[in-house]
């Protein structure tokens, strides 16, 4: 028991310092896995979707992952019916490694996902899948659920990949988003970004990826028009520090499935 006034004051200051440190500490940067399923036919599409809806997403929730995004190319895309995107936010790289083991111990997951998990080699549920691992930007350390109210089937989620000529040049583009102010610019203009991430493992490195969301294509086009005409963007774009820092810019137009959390 603390009996002396000095001891009580020192103890109080220790607690106060710890509390202030906890409040001031920035949130840890999340990690993301984007898994892209490549499908041969509608049967595989249906089987993967059944697995995701009935087994993977509920099991991820039980494992403490609140929001799992499942997306498909918009109907006008030539890859519609051939790809399914799964976005899983992770607290750490360790969680990326331990999640499969956690799922293996989940009896409900094993039961609901039998067709996928125990598929015969003659009838696999997919042709192949690729996995992209990212770490969230320093200025956007946590993912956000989009503030949209329209039907999911009409939404346009734009997943963008910016590739760099070299690692150093790529890092310059990341800096442009963070210190340069591109992240808050997107926020001010209402782009409803889900995440911004640096790719740490993928097939198109060095590159960064981010996802913005819109009620529909008309909203998407209007937002990008406002962006290209914005005085802050025009000033940032002209800054000599950030010239020629993207070698390739690729956009993927997606919409969320009805069972997607995002």
Residue 50 belongs to some domain of the structure: yes
Least trusted range by pLDDT, from 12-16, 32-36, 74-78, 116-120? 12-16
Q: Which pLDDT does position 1 carry in this prediction? A: 47
Q: If pLDDT is split at 50, 70 and 90, which confidence band does 20 have?
A: very low
Question: 208: helix, coil or strand?
Answer: strand
Q: Which CATH number do you get for residue 102?
A: 3.30.70.100
Q: How many domains does the chain have?
A: 1
State the average pLDDT over residues 231-245.
Answer: 98
State the average pLDDT over residues 105-128.
Answer: 98
- Residues 195, 168: Cα–Cα separation, whole Å: 22
> Could you tell me the end-to-end alpha-carbon distance of the chain, in angstroms, rounded to an integer?
50
Q: Which pLDDT does position 23 carry in this prediction? A: 52
For 55-68, what is each residue's pLDDT tens digit? Answer: 999 999 999 999 99
Q: Which pLDDT does position 27 carry in this prediction? A: 82
Tell me whether residue 148 is exposed, middle or buried, using C-beta atoms within 10 angstroms of its C-beta: 0 to 12, 13 to 18, 19 or more: middle
Print the domain residue range for 215.
Answer: 31-256
β-bridge mates for residue 211, sequence order: 159, 195
Residue 22 belongs to some domain of the structure: no
Whole-structure pTM value = 0.90
Residue 20 belongs to some domain of the structure: no
Q: If pLDDT is split at 50, 70 and 90, which confidence band does 6 have?
A: low
Residue 171 belongs to some domain of the structure: yes
Residue 3 belongs to some domain of the structure: no
């Amino acid at each position: 028991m603390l009996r002396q006034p000095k001891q009580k004051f020192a103890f109080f200051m220790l607690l106060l310092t710890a509390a202030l440190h906890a409040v001031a500490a920035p949130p840890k940067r999340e990690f993301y896995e984007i898994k892209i399923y490549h499908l041969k036919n509608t049967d595989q599409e249906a089987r993967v979707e059944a697995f995701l809806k009935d087994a993977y997403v509920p099991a991820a929730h039980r494992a403490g992952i609140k929001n799992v995004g499942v997306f498909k190319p918009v109907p006008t895309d030539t890859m519609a019916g051939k790809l399914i995107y799964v976005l899983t936010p992770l607290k750490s790289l360790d969680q990326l490694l331990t999640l499969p083991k956690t799922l293996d111990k989940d009896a409900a997951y094993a039961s609901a996902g039998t067709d996928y998990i125990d598929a015969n080699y003659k009838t696999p549920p997919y042709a192949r899948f690729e996995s992209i691992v990212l770490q969230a930007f320093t200025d956007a350390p946590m993912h956000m659920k989009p503030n949209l109210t329209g039907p999911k089937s009409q939404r346009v989620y734009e997943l963008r990949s910016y590739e760099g000529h070299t690692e150093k040049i790529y890092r310059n583009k990341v800096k442009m988003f963070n210190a340069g102010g591109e992240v808050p610019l997107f926020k001010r203009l209402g782009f409803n970004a889900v995440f911004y991430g640096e790719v740490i493992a993928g097939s198109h490195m060095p590159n960064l990826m981010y996802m913005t969301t819109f009620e529909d294509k008309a909203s998407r086009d209007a937002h990008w028009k406002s962006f290209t005409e914005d005085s802050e963007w025009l000033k940032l774009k002209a800054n000599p520090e950030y010239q020629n820092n993207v070698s390739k810019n690729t956009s993927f137009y997606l919409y969320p499935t009805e069972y997607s959390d995002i």
